[in-house]
Amino acid sequence: MPLLWLVLIVLALAGAGYVLGRQRAMSSAGGDTRHLHSLPVYYGSNVAIFAAMPAFLVLAVWLIAQPLLVDSIVSADIPATAVPEGSTLSLLMSDVRRVADGLDLAISQGTIAADEAKTLRADATDVRALLASVGVALGSDVNETTLSAAQEFRALTGTGSMAMTVVVLALALGGFAYAYSRTNKDFRARNVVERSIRGLLIAAASIAILTTVGIVLSLVFNTVEFFRLYPALDFFFGTTWSPSFGGGSELGVLPLLWGTLYISVIALAVAVPIGLFAAVYLSEYAGAKVRAFAKPLIEVLAGIPTIVYGLFALLTVGPLLVKFFGSGGTFGVDWMSGASSVTTAGLVMGIMLIPFVSSLSDDIINAVPQSMRDGSLGLGATKSETIKQVVLPAALPGIVGAILLAASRAIGETMIVVLGAGAAARLSMNPLEAMTTVTAKIVSQLTGDADFASPEALVAFALGMTLFVMTLGLNVLALYIVRKYREQYE
């Protein structure tokens, strides 16, 4: 693994740099630390940082940029006529990459020699069979265009990797030499080292931004790709969801949105009253002992993984509901045919959300100043009158924020709906019927065997985008409201 070796070499250089830099500084000070500007460790660290940091930075950028560059060069060389009917360039390129990877694998396993791979011809060798023998399955036979593109791909990648190794090593050595030559007793090593550390800290903090950028980019690119294959209007306003991997899918998001909203509403109808009343009771009535006992226990509900709730919905709540509402059930009605339903998922999700509503509301109710309560009690109001007419109205914005956050959770929740809500996308009012949600369909579209370039798989990204925008909107609004509310009482 040459990359691993490269990293290890650079690390070794940095280690050597640390020792040598420290030594040089010490000897320049005649072995007396007091003559040094900074502590000896800083001189060592300085050389180590200069040896490793630029090298790793370039390495990281290179690793990201090279595949993109190679891709664009290779795909530019593929004539438009070579793209078969009903396929796209990107589909072809994914084939090219697979063939190239397969050849790499074949060489590493010794099935063919490195030279042989370069001169392979599609009409002379059955490349598909060759690759299948090393465990790379291809969807179709390899034609000459694909093979030569794959060979070009491999050649470019090889050259690139070679260049990368040279550049990275040169940088590491250069940095080492530069920092080492600067090392003497008057050099302000600490300041330089601290600046680098500060840089690292900033980089770490920026990962949050990078994550968001990553999320947005991966959603946007694939969504755009999807809308190229499937009209956006049909997606947003279509009322039928029936993907078929053979083509001719109808991918309307409305039934999914409906299922999502329906389930979320039921969940909130369970969680908000219970959570709110529990918060009111715990913060206004309960003694210290009850509070210390009940509050953490209710919050345990929030610590239980969602897969547990999913299983609970699928295997316990669903069958129980069927026992009541199914055919031959307690109520003698036949309203429910299977364990999965909107109510099943909604109820269980409601249980999950209770602690979200209650602990957020609890914080918010506690932030209402005691003087408000005193004012009301001093007028002869009962506790409940004080709560209903003074505390809750004062806390209202914060509570609305809390409910919005819970709603955003409900919309984004996956496992409970995957297991409890069912797979059928419908626009129905019956809460005992199985429906499906945006998140459940993201899972089912991306875990199938669909080709990632097909609209049936890409639609998941458009769904993800929809979900992201909805939850982001709710979150931003909720956080804004809560923050404004906090400021009011600070």
Partner 1 sequence: MYDNPNLERKVAQAESKISARNVQVFYGDTHAIKDVNVEIEARTVTAFIGPSGCGKSTFLRCLNRMNDTIDICRVEGDIELDGENIYDKRVDPVQLRAKVGMVFQKPNPFPKSIYDNIAYGPRIHGLAKNKADLDDIVEKALRRGAIWNEVKDRLHAPGTGLSGGQQQRLCIARAVATEPEVLLMDEPCSALDPIATSQVEELIDELRDQYSVVIVTHSMQQAARVSQKTAFFHLGNLVEYGDTDQIFTNPHDPRTEAYITGRIG
Partner 2 sequence: MTDATNNTPKAKTSLLTVSPRVKKRNAQEARFKAYGIAAVATGLVFLVILLSTILYNGVGAFQQTFITVPIYLDEAKLDKNGNRDIEEIKKVSTFGYTPLIQDAIFAAIEEKAPGSEITSAKDTKALISASAAAQIRDVVIANPDMIGKSVEFRILAASRVDGYLKGRVTRDSIARDKNIDAKHLDVVDTLRSKGIVKREFNMAFITGADASESRPEQAGIGVSMLGSLFMMLVVLVLSLPIGVAASIYLEEFAPQNKWTDLIEVNISNLAAVPSIVFGILGLAVFIQFAGLPQSAPLVGGLVLTLMTLPTIIISTRASLKSVPPSIRDAALGLGASKMQSVFHHVLPLAMPGILTGTIIGLAQALGETAPLLLIGMVGYIASNYPSGPISGFMDPNSAMPAQIYEWAKRADPAYYERAWGGIIILLVFLITMNIIAIILRRRFERRW
Residues of this chain that bind partner 1 (CB under 8 A): 287-288, 369, 371-382, 385, 389-390, 393-394
Instruction: Measure the CA dihedral 443/444/448/450, to 10°.
Output: -90
- Residue 96 interacting partner from partner 1, partner 2, none (CB closer than 5 to 8 Å by kind): none
From CA 411, how far away is CA 187, in angstroms rounded?
58
CB of 439 to partner 2, least distance (A): 5
Task: Give the number of other Cβ atoms within 10 Å of residue 244's Cβ.
Answer: 9
Segment near partner 2 (CB under 8 A); pick from 19-27, 109-117, 259-267, 468-476: 468-476
CB 29 within 8 A of CB 35: yes
Segment near partner 2 (CB under 8 A); pick from 166-174, 246-254, 325-333, 377-385: 377-385
Site for partner 2 in 433-462 (CB under 8 A): 439, 442-443, 446-447, 452, 460-461
From CA 343, how far away is CA 151, in angstroms rounded?
56
Task: Give the number of other Cβ atoms within 10 Å of residue 466's Cβ.
Answer: 21
CB of 394 to partner 1, least distance (A): 5
CB of 402 to partner 2, least distance (A): 12
From CA 323, how far away is CA 137, in angstroms rounded?
47
Of the pair 126, 385, the CB lying nearest partner 1 is at: 385
Of the pair 247, 380, the CB lying nearest partner 1 is at: 380
Residue 46 as a binder of partner 2 (CB under 8 A): the answer is no
Chosen residue from 36, 142, 251, 280 binding partner 2 by CB under 8 A: 280
- Residue 303 interacting partner from partner 1, partner 2, none (CB closer than 5 to 8 Å by kind): partner 2
Task: Give the number of other Cβ atoms within 10 Å of residue 7's Cβ.
Answer: 16
Site for partner 2 in 102-141 (CB under 8 A): none
- Residue 354 interacting partner from partner 1, partner 2, none (CB closer than 5 to 8 Å by kind): partner 2
**Locus of tokens 């404004």:** 484
**DSSP of 148-165, one letter per residue?**
HHHHHHHHHHHHHHHHHH
Residue 285 as a binder of partner 2 (CB under 8 A): the answer is yes
SS3 of 204-230: the string is HHHHHHHHHHHHHHHHHHHHHHHHHHC
Site for partner 2 in 292-321 (CB under 8 A): 294, 297-298, 300-301, 303-312, 314-316
User: Which are the contacts of 272, defined by CB distance < 8 A and separation ≥ 6?
Assistant: 357, 403, 406
User: Which are the contacts of 103, defined by CB distance < 8 A and separation ≥ 6?
Assistant: 112, 117, 120, 131, 150, 151, 154
- Residue 389 interacting partner from partner 1, partner 2, none (CB closer than 5 to 8 Å by kind): partner 1
Task: Give the number of other Cβ atoms within 10 Å of residue 315's Cβ.
Answer: 13
Residue 472 as a binder of partner 2 (CB under 8 A): the answer is yes
CB 290 within 8 A of CB 297: no
From CA 414, how far away is CA 443, in angstroms rounded?
8
Tokens of 102: 């397969």
Residue 49 as a binder of partner 2 (CB under 8 A): the answer is no
Chosen residue from 21, 275, 318, 431 binding partner 2 by CB under 8 A: 275
* Total number of residues that touch partner 2 (CB under 8 A): 90
Of the pair 8, 304, the CB lying nearest partner 2 is at: 304
**Locus of tokens 């790793």:** 56
CB of 242 to partner 2, least distance (A): 22
CB 440 within 8 A of CB 423: yes
From CA 171, how far away is CA 169, in angstroms rounded?
5
Residue 212 as a binder of partner 2 (CB under 8 A): the answer is yes
Instruction: Fill in the per-residue mask, 385 to 404: x = in contact with partner 2 (CB under 8 A), - = not in contact.
Output: x-xx----------------
- Residue 393 interacting partner from partner 1, partner 2, none (CB closer than 5 to 8 Å by kind): partner 1
CB of 180 to partner 2, least distance (A): 23
Residue 489 as a binder of partner 2 (CB under 8 A): the answer is no
Tokens of 56: 């790793």
Chosen residue from 21, 102, 326, 355 binding partner 2 by CB under 8 A: 355
- Residue 119 interacting partner from partner 1, partner 2, none (CB closer than 5 to 8 Å by kind): none
Instruction: Measure the CA dihedral 329/333/338/343, to 10°.
Output: -100
Of the pair 330, 371, the CB lying nearest partner 1 is at: 371
Percentages helix, strand, coil for the chain (3-state, rounded to 5) are 75, 0, 25
CB of 450 to partner 2, least distance (A): 13
CB of 208 to partner 2, least distance (A): 5
- Residue 124 interacting partner from partner 2, partner 1, none (CB closer than 5 to 8 Å by kind): none
Site for partner 2 in 57-96 (CB under 8 A): 64, 67
Residue 198 as a binder of partner 2 (CB under 8 A): the answer is yes
CB of 248 to partner 2, least distance (A): 25
Eight-state DSSP code of residue 336: B
Tokens of 175: 């940095």
Amino acid at 142: V
Of the pair 28, 414, the CB lying nearest partner 2 is at: 414
Element (H, E) at 242: strand 241-242
Is the four-CA dihedral 128, 133, 134, 138 of positive or negative sign? positive
- Residue 453 interacting partner from partner 1, partner 2, none (CB closer than 5 to 8 Å by kind): none
CB of 142 to partner 2, least distance (A): 20
